[in-house]
Amino acid sequence: MKVYLDTIGCRLNQAEIEQIARQFRLAGHEIVPSASEADLAVVNTCTVTSEAAADSRAAIRRANRLGVEQIIATGCWATLEPDKTAELPGVTRVVPNPEKDSLAADLLGLPGEFFDLEPLARQPLPGLRTRTRAFIKVQDGCNNACTFCITTLARGDSRSRPVEAVLADVKSALDGGTQEIVLTGVHLGAWGQDFTPSQRLADLVSALLARTAPPRLRLSSLEPWDLDAEFFGLWSNPHLCRHLHLPLQSGSAAVLRRMARKTSPEAFAALVRRARAAIPGVAITTDIITGFPGETEAEFAETLDFVKALEFAGGHVFTYSARPGTPAARMKGHIRGDIAKARSARLRAALAESGAAYRRLFIGQTLPVLWESTSQLSDSGWKVEGLTDNYLRVRATATEPRWNRLEAVKLINLDGNGLVGELIT
Ligand code: SF4
């Protein structure tokens, strides 16, 4: 069977669709780059914002328009809106998140352990979703209740994957030539808390670094309240990427309370100071929501000042999107869209400025870059682009294509499109 796979949203969705690809391949099926070639499609949906939910519906309709009559819809939007999902053209099966891990086994009538019988080296998904980095799912669900968050509703309680299962996926990725492993989850920092006796994410990272040899290991988003003092000791290992993505969401203590976030501006700032002291050159990036219900001009100004003071290396700004079923959606004082968007623009400008300042710090330095994309410029010239461990996007020219290679690059300039590097040969 020819299978087309598509995913919208977070790294966890990406990790899951790669796992589904691996299972279909193990069962002898082919993963194709376009729905126009496929007998079956699996679409991993998202509902973190209303836009993401709309993109998910569009992906399903597109697969059907390209000729697929057998579409399996899974993921967060499909989990929370199963009836609406089943009404979309071509959808023959809706698989809620808790059943996603056995989606391929159930469809193919195979026992779940069939896929554990033989290791299969990771192969990047063909087509648009080709990635050098392997996203590895280590945890799912969340026991927190941030009032804006629909993910915790769509993904259920926090649950961790055992060390051995994660190790097997990491080995499969490294066997497939992956240079960078990215650990991901809904609430990554909660890994191990549901075990008896409980464990910490630091235990998993130490085990991975001790028992496998990833050229690079990166951690995806971490909630600020999960990181204890010892956590930063892990960075004595040079294979751990100097990048921490810590969602702030708001720099106003009052807004953080209305969001039910387990942190405060003071605690967050102290954490960032500790991280910078422990990990020289670390990139701290973040997520912020503007226009949260009731957000006053004064509260927004607190957030803007706080963000400027913390000098983030970058981040994402989301304009608040009311998600059905969340406590925040029922709150009073929803902000007019134009006001919220204007606040988002001011925050993005502040993050762009501090991001450029962070990048300028590295001009003149030589850092390893993992090439992720390569395109021909001329008969003898190629444009290559990739990321350093501290999440600097670098482009350079080369005499031959380069993909999925870690190479030393001298950072020579910063222009409007980012950092320019020179290959050290
Ligand atoms: S920590 Fe908060 S924002 Fe993150 S998944 Fe859990 S409830 Fe959602």
Superfamily of domain 1-123 in CATH is: Methylthiotransferase, N-terminal domain (3.40.50.12160)
Beta carbon of 186 within 6 Å of any ligand 1 atom? yes
HEC letters along 289-309:
EECCCCCCHHHHHHHHHHHHH
Distance from C-alpha of 256 to C-alpha of 276, rounded to nearest angstrom? 23
Probe ligand 1: pick from 139, 150, 151, 222, max atoms within 8 Å of CB? 151
Domain 366-423: assigned CATH number? 2.40.50
Per-residue pLDDT of the chain (425 residues; tens, 9 = 90+): 999 999 999 999 999 999 999 899 989 999 999 999 999 999 999 999 999 999 999 999 999 999 999 999 999 999 999 999 999 999 999 999 999 999 999 999 998 888 775 556 666 777 655 568 999 999 999 999 999 999 999 999 999 999 999 999 999 899 889 999 999 999 999 999 999 999 999 999 999 999 999 999 999 999 999 998 899 999 999 999 999 999 999 999 999 999 999 999 999 999 999 999 999 999 999 999 999 999 999 999 999 999 999 999 999 999 999 999 999 999 999 999 999 999 999 999 999 999 999 999 999 999 999 999 989 887 778 999 999 999 999 999 998 889 899 999 999 999 887 899 999 87
For the chain, residues classed under CATH 3.40.50.12160 are 1-123
Q: Which residues contact 266 (CB under 8 A, 6 or more apart)?
A: none
For residue 144, report the distance from its CA to the centre of ligand 1, in Å.
6
Distance from C-alpha of 215 to C-alpha of 386, rounded to nearest angstrom? 15
* Closest C-alpha to ligand 1, atom 8: 149
Beta carbon of 52 within 6 Å of any ligand 1 atom? no
For the chain, residues classed under CATH 2.40.50 are 366-423
Q: What does each C-alpha distance from 271 to 10, 248, 263 come to in angstroms?
A: 25, 11, 10
Q: DSSP secondary-structure letter at 388?
A: -
Contact 368, 406 (CB under 8 A): yes
For residue 396, report the distance from its CA to the centre of ligand 1, in Å.
38
Q: Which residues of 265-277 are buried (b: 16+ CB within 10 A; e: fewer)?
A: beebeebbeebbe
Contact 156, 141 (CB under 8 A): yes
